[in-house]
Amino acid sequence: MRQIASDYAGLGVTEIARTVCELLDWKRPGGGLKNHECRLLLEQLRDGGQLTLPAVRALGGRGPRRLVVESLPEQAGGVPVITGAASGFHDLELMPVAGAADGRAWRECIQRYHYLGCPVPYGAQLRYWIQHRKQRLGCLLWTSPAWRMKPRDEWIGWTDQQRRQNLQRIVNNGRFLILPAVKVTGLASMVLARCARQLPGDWEQRYGYRPWLLETLVEVAPFRGTCYRAANWIRVGQTAGRGRMDRLNLRKEPVKDIFVYPLVGDVQQLLRGSTR
């Protein structure tokens, strides 16, 4: 990777990442290059002094991108509170985010109302609006899975080779937001059930393969994962206080409960490489 970064410095970081993926055969199950994940890894190695990358062209500001959110109305000012029970929301819809304007509105919503904000996600992703009769109730983000989590990996029972081969069959629920003005009993677990039915097909349509397992991380101190438990997700253990994609053990984060939801009956055997 050092040699490629040096030999192809004139191409820019994105092209270097694509070249690394091509030479090392880093591909998604659908055949696409994992160039986004590779670029993040290259930048992490650069920051650790392990290789040199060409300077990024000055096309905008440096540092993490920040969203301007004044275009969104405050929930406390004039937005009607939505109440009721989930039984009255059977025509609930999960609408994929489409287009630049829609994507910006989604990011602004997450940035304003989710306590973790809206960072740039790793790898493959799908974003949804939670809607009821064209009224937006919240947002969802599904992304590539955590690289390694001991409780999850022990629950599956796979080897490192099996994990590398089948990891992308897992999809991570990276953000789940019900807007503050929405006070509907049981809505969150209903949304999760709808996701389990709709997400596999949407993911296959976009990336060319069907996921077998869903996962999520729930911060222990402020939350209990009640909606995941109510939707029959399985708690398999807790994180060790590292970042979800932190292969180098450089980041410290709050301890989180790990929940999984099988989308197929023989998920552990499939993830270990058995054929159906």
Are 41 and 91 within one domain? no
What was the pLDDT predicted at 66?
A: 45
Average pLDDT over residues 52-62: 61
Q: Of 115 and 44, which is predicted with more confidence?
A: 44
Indicate whether this model's pTM tops 0.85.
no
Are 88 and 14 within one domain? no
Q: Of 276 and 194, which is predicted with more confidence?
A: 194
Confidence band, pLDDT 50/70/90 cuts, at residue 60? very low
Are 32 and 93 within one domain? no
pLDDT higher than threshold 90 for residue 215: yes
**Structural domains of the chain, count:** 2
Is residue 67 a part of any domain in this protein?
A: no
Is residue 19 a part of any domain in this protein?
A: yes
CATH number (domain holding residue 203): 3.40.630.30
Q: Of 12 and 242, which is predicted with more confidence?
A: 12
Is residue 73 a part of any domain in this protein?
A: no
Are 88 and 168 within one domain? yes
Confidence band, pLDDT 50/70/90 cuts, at residue 13? confident
Mean pLDDT over the full length of the chain = 84
Residue 129's domain comprises 84-271
pLDDT higher than threshold 80 for residue 193: yes
Are 160 and 208 within one domain? yes
Average pLDDT over residues 195-204: 96
**3-state SS string over the chain?**
CHHHHHHCHHHCHHHHHHHHHHHHCCECCCCCECHHHHHHHHHHHHHCCCCCCCCCCCCCCCCCCCCCCCCCCCCCCCCCCEEEEHHHCCCEEEEECCCHHHHHHHHHHHHHHCCCCCCCCCCCEEEEEEEECCEEEEEEEEECCCCCCHHHHHHHCCCHHHHHHHHHHEEEEEEEEECCCEEEECHHHHHHHHHHHHHHHHHHHHHCCCCCEEEEEEECCCCCCHHHHHCCCEEEEECCCCCCCCCCCCCCCCCEEEEEEECCCCHHHHHCCCCC
